[in-house]
Structure formats: structure tokens, C-alpha cells
Chain A
Amino acid sequence: MKTTTSGLTEAAEPVREAGEGLGRAVVATFRRDLTAVARRPGDALTPLVFFAMVITLFPLGISPDPERLALIAPGVLWVAALLSALLSLDGLFRGDFEDGTLEQLLLAPHPLSLLVLAKVAVHWLTTGLPLALMAPLLGVLLALPQGSYLALSATLALGSGCISLIGAIGAGLTVGLARGGMLLSLLVLPLFMPVLIFGTGAMGAALGGGEWLGHLAVIGALLSVSLMAAPIAIAASLRISIHG
């Protein structure tokens, strides 16, 4: 950008930076959130411990008989994953709302939906993905039959992406409310049901020796739709929560 008058250069410079700055802002948001999680690893561990605890309740409450447990294992694992996601979603924006970070994101000269997408990506990386990796271990405890472990991890990995995205809409709407957590679960659980159906459907198909990749593909489709539409809704919900 070479111009004869220095005034023009100075005026043009920030405009160019703003265009480039979008990528940088998204990366910066991503790294900031990742650092925040790394500094307080307990926050990311709590949902995982909760997940393990809920799984432990079922053999105690139903029966330690492996055959019975194997029957309910896919559903129990998935439902426990949804509940633990709710637990972590409640805190997704809360800290940033209280210390004013969200307001700064709103003021940034970049689309809020993309910045928020970076935050949701961190949420998935630190809760959904570890959960998907940990689930097979708990599957062993529930005597989950051979052949469905890969399906469990794969559907949870993709499905938790959907859950992070859809749940963030509810988290954005309830972040400013005193008892938002209760309301959050009411708002988003109905929206999680398709993911639950196809997640357990894939495991059922894998257990029956059938083709489960089709179910995974449906979850992938749900994820792509959420990826397109949810950031806009999340941004709108945060705007409502911050300045009405």
C-alpha cells in the first residue's frame, strides 16, 4: 500500500488491519479461552467426574448384573454425557459475563458470531472431546458389549459438538439470570433429543452387527447445520443478555 501522501496511508492502514484482524481475533479468543481452562483445570475436570459418578449410580440403582447393564449401557452413557454437558454449559459464558469480557467481545470490530464460535470450540475441546475419549472406559464398567466402543466414541465426539453449539444458545440466553442453570436445562434438553436418538441408534446398530456409519453421518449433518446456524443465534442471545 504505497501512497504519495502520508495521511492517506495512515487512514488506509487500520482498514487493512481490520480485515486481517478477524482471523487474529478469532485465534486470540481461542487461545485466551484455552489458557483460561489450562489455568483452572478443575473446571474442566468437574463435568468428567460428574459423568463418571452418574454412570456409577446405575449399577447401584438397577443391578450389578452384566447382562442387564449391557442392555441399558448405550442409553445410560449418552444420557449421562448430556447431563454432564449441561453442567459445563452453565459456566460457558458466566465468568466472561461477570468480568466484562463479553462486553469487550461485543465491542470488538468483528462479527460476534465468529468470536463466539471460537469459545464454543474451546468448550468442545475441553469437555466434549475428553468425554468421548473417556466414555469407552466407563463402557467397560457398564459391561458394554464388544463392537460398539468405536461407535460410542465417534458419536460422542461429533454429537458433543452439536451439544456445545446448541447448548451455547441456551447458555447465552440464561447467562445474566440469577438461577439460569435450571432454566438452561429446560431450554436445551428438548433440542438435544435428535442427537441422543442418533447417538444411541448408532450404538444399537453397531451392537446388532449392522452399519452404524449412516447414523454417524446424520450426526455429522446435524453438526454442520448447527455450525452454520447456531453461532448467529448464540450471538443474538448474548446481545440480549448484555444490553437487552
Chain B
Amino acid sequence: MWAFFHKLGSPRWFYGIAARLSPWCWALALALILIGSVWGLAFAPADYQQGNSFRIIYVHVPAAFLAQSIFMALAASGFVFMVWKIKIADMAAAMMAPLGAAMTAIALLSGSVWGKPTWGTWWQWDARLTSMLILLFLYLGVMLIRRAFARPQSGAKAASVLAMVGVINIPIIKYSVEWWNTLHQPASFTITERPAMPLEMWMPLLIMVLGFYAFFAAFTLTRTRTEILRREGHKRWVKELFEERP
């Protein structure tokens, strides 16, 4: 088990593993997202209240899932990097952060596009929207601090610490924002309690969520490989790798 971790931690070994895994992840992601979106957008029945506008959840919900999961992954990578000094963890974290921020932005944008026909407004200081907005700020902070340092090594550590501090705060922020919202506006609408979805609506959503996770895995693997080459470009194994090829 430990030997496996240590091997995985070596950039050279990870580079090879990622090369073998990433095509499968990309294929899986493409297939799931294709099936999920065609099913969800074209074949799933329209909502009896919201009509066709509900279909945006097939993008919105998976993006929101990823937005939160990626921050957890950032903090976990930060922890691994700070405790065991495994460089791969930091390379992956550096590549994941922009994707997480993008997913948060997609969740916010698609949410407000959905909010316009449904609630009649682009923005509502609803608990979920607010905590997503704060999450976006946390992502931006992690991304900015990494670049603020002259030495990449310091930036990596600072980003790791900030991600860990952020992940402790996320539940606190989430619950305090929920509490704040219920105080200010007593349930004029509830997006938290949707009527239970029928299976035909729910299945494509599940497929889309899985597809987004597969995309996250594929994206991270591919980008981490590029990052390995960028950071380890001076190492012999990288030079040999490219000299061998015509």
C-alpha cells in the first residue's frame, strides 16, 4: 500500500499511469455526457410546473457537485503535499483549482439563467447562491495566492494552507448562510425541497453527474501530465522521453 503511494508520488511513474488511464476517462466522460445530455435535453419529460426551463439542471447540478468536490480535492491534495511533500499532489491541485472555479461560475451562471424564468429575477440572495458565491471567492483566493509568490514552492505551500483553512470554513459558511437566509425570508419559495423527481428525469441527471466526474478525472490527469513535463523538464527521464521519439 505504502509502496504504491510512494510510486504514485513519483512524477515519472504518475506520468506513465496517467497516460494509460486518461484515454479511458476521456472516453467515459464523453460517452456519459453525450448520453446524459441527449437524454436529459431531448427525451426526459418536461416539468409540469417549470416546463422546459428545468432542463438546465442537467448542467447546473453536476457543475455544483463538482464545484464542491473539487475544493475538497484541493484541500486533500494540499494536506498530502504539506505532510508527505508529494509533489504530484501539488501539481494536481494547481491544475484542479481553475476547473473548480470554472465549475462554480457555471453553477452560478446557469442558476441565474434558470432563476430568471422561474423566480423572475437573475439574482436572489438565497442561501445556496450566496454560499456558492463565497466558494467562488475562496477559489479565486487559492488561485491568486499561488501566483503571488516569487518562488513557486512558497506559492504551492501557501495555496495548500489556504485550501485547508477554506475547507474547514466551508461547512461553517454554508450553515451560517442557510441560517441567515431563513431568518430574513421565511420560505417564500423552497428550492431545497423539490417534489420527488420521476425516474425518467432523475436518471439522465445521474448520468450527467457521473459524466462530469469522469471529465474532472480525465481533465486533471491530462493537465497534470502537462504540468509534470513543464516542471520536470530539466530532469533526465523527461529529456530521454523526448529524444527517443523521432
Interface of A with B (CB < 8 Å)? Answer: 166, 169, 173-174, 176-177, 180, 183, 186-187, 189-191, 193-194, 197-198, 201, 204, 218, 222, 225, 229, 233, 236-237, 240-241, 244
Contact = CB atoms under 8 A, between A and B. Distances in A.
Interface string B82-109: 1000000000000000000000000000
Given A193-B176, A194-B176, 18 more contacts: A173-B145, A176-B149, A177-B148, A177-B149, A183-B144, A187-B162, A189-B137, A190-B141, A190-B169, A190-B173, A193-B173, A197-B176, A197-B177, A198-B176, A201-B179, A229-B168, A237-B161, A240-B158
Contacts of A177: 148-149
Nearest to A229: B168
Interface in B88-145: 134, 137-138, 140-141, 144-145
Contact of A190 (B137, B148, B158): B137
B162 A173 contact: yes
A183 B145 contact: yes
Contacts of A201: 179-180, 183
Contact of B180 (A180, A189, A197): A197
| A interface SS class | helix
A182 B153 CA distance: 22
Contacts of A233: 161, 164-165
B157 interface: yes
A222 B141 CA distance: 22
Contacts of A166: 165
Contacts, number: 79
Contacts of A186: 137, 140-141, 144
B161 A173 contact: yes
B177 to A, nearest CB: 7
A187 B161 CA distance: 12
22 contacts: A174-B145, A176-B149, A177-B148, A183-B141, A183-B145, A189-B137, A190-B138, A190-B166, A191-B169, A191-B173, A193-B176, A194-B177, A197-B177, A197-B180, A201-B179, A233-B161, A233-B164, A236-B82, A237-B158, A244-B153, A244-B154, A244-B157
A225 B176 CA distance: 15
Contacts of A173: 145, 158, 161-162
B153 A187 contact: no
B183 A193 contact: no
A241 B154 contact: yes
A177 B166 CA distance: 21
B172 interface: yes
A236 B141 contact: no
* A-B residue pairs, 3 tightest by C-beta: A194-B176, A244-B154, A190-B137
A164 B149 CA distance: 23
Contacts of A240: 154, 157-158, 161
A222 B154 CA distance: 29
Contacts of B138: 190
Interface string B23-49: 000000000000000000000000000
A174 B82 CA distance: 18
A175 B140 CA distance: 19
Contacts of B149: 176-177, 244
A5 B80 CA distance: 48
A225 B175 CA distance: 15
Contacts of A204: 183
A201 B180 CA distance: 7
B234 interface: no
Nearest to A195: B176
Contacts of B245: none
Nearest to A243: B154
Contacts of B176: 193-194, 197-198, 218
